[in-house]
Amino acid sequence: MKRLLPLLFCTLACAAQAASPKYPDKPVRLIVPLSAGGGMDTIARAVASPLAEKLGQTVVVDNRSGGGGAIGAELTRDAPKDGHTLLMASATFVIHPLLYPARYVPTRDYATITQVTRQPFVLMVHPSMPAKNVKELVAYTRANPNKVNYASAGQGSLIHLATELFKVRTGADMNHVPYKGMGGAYVDMLAGRIQAAFPSIISVLPHLKSGKLRALAVTSARRSPSLPDMPSLQETGIPDFDVSQWYGLFAPAGAPRPVIDRIHREVVEILKTADMQKRMAGDGAEGVGSSPAEFAAFVKAETARWSEVIRKSNIKAD
């Protein structure tokens, strides 16, 4: 009987293993909480195709826009916790619940997989501005209160919060002019009606190269490959200033750890490929590939930072 017990345990274990579903055993849904065609959608589709090859299952990009990204976030939160539903999210995913009533909490309702990209902003001014560097800009705004207008992509957008963080850290005096996206802001800025902004590098690079707008610094901790000669705000003397738009992968909280680890491993390998690096560079972005724990710490830090900026700047929802 004693000799039969190990064989019995082995038989039961093998049977249990055979009965457990192999991941993935059906198509994987990658929810993008924005419309098709934007930067996040482009990166999501660039990841989905090679990820499908690595997983041996179709990865379907499912665009679920609306509610400032909340609709897609809630769909992911309520999905089965088996790793077959993933979410590609951005900084808005963290900011939205800080300003608007939301039924999800990023640090509670989701398992972090990896930060996929980061895309720094650039502090730029109209050439009519006398400021040639960041210190001169801050000094000019202080000496000329209520005369410098800055544009954002809307109340509570990351560009809005990034500029308010800049004001908090430097004491700069600038008036917020929100737009519905940055398209209209560029028109007014090129005309000189808007004096400053923190847009993405890739969106204004042609205007910077033509001299129609002037760049002063990038917002990331280190210089951007897209503007290698441009200093970071930290280099100009503003400590601990590191702000970028980012995209990251999440699953519903409670998703199996082996599944999370596998997706993380596969996505990191995808980010290293020449094709993916070319696609990210085309979007003005860099690959990250942080670990699930590192990404969790990042999301927690982002939540704390933007909560503080919203409180100190008294930012209210529309």
pLDDT digits (tens, 9 = 90+) for 30-72: 999 999 988 899 999 999 999 999 999 999 999 999 998 999 9
Span between the terminal Cα atoms of the chain, in Å: 74
Peptide bond into 24 cis (omega under 30): yes
Looking at residue 318, what is its pLDDT?
A: 75
Looking at residue 181, what is its pLDDT?
A: 85
Indicate if the pLDDT at residue 277 is higher than 60: yes
Indicate if the pLDDT at residue 298 is higher than 50: yes
Domains 26-119+244-312 and 122-218 fall in the same CATH topology: yes
Return the CATH fold of 26-119+244-312: D-Maltodextrin-Binding Protein; domain 2 (3.40.190)
Tens digit of each residue's pLDDT (9 = 90 or more) over 192-249: 999 999 999 988 889 999 999 999 999 999 999 888 999 999 999 998 899 999 999 9
Return the CATH fold of 122-218: D-Maltodextrin-Binding Protein; domain 2 (3.40.190)
> Domain extents for the chain?
26-119+244-312, 122-218
Looking at residue 282, what is its pLDDT?
A: 81
pTM for the whole thing?
0.89
Tens digit of each residue's pLDDT (9 = 90 or more) over 1-26: 445 444 444 444 443 333 346 899 99
Looking at residue 13, what is its pLDDT?
A: 42
Between 285 and 297, where is the model more confident? 297
Looking at residue 219, what is its pLDDT?
A: 96
Rounded mean pLDDT, 275-302: 93
Indicate if the pLDDT at residue 312 is higher than 50: yes
Tens digit of each residue's pLDDT (9 = 90 or more) over 123-153: 999 999 999 999 999 999 999 998 999 999 9
Looking at residue 21, what is its pLDDT?
A: 63
Sign of the C-alpha dihedral computed for residues 121, 109, 88 and 178 taken in this order: negative
Looking at residue 2, what is its pLDDT?
A: 47
Between 256 and 182, where is the model more confident? 256
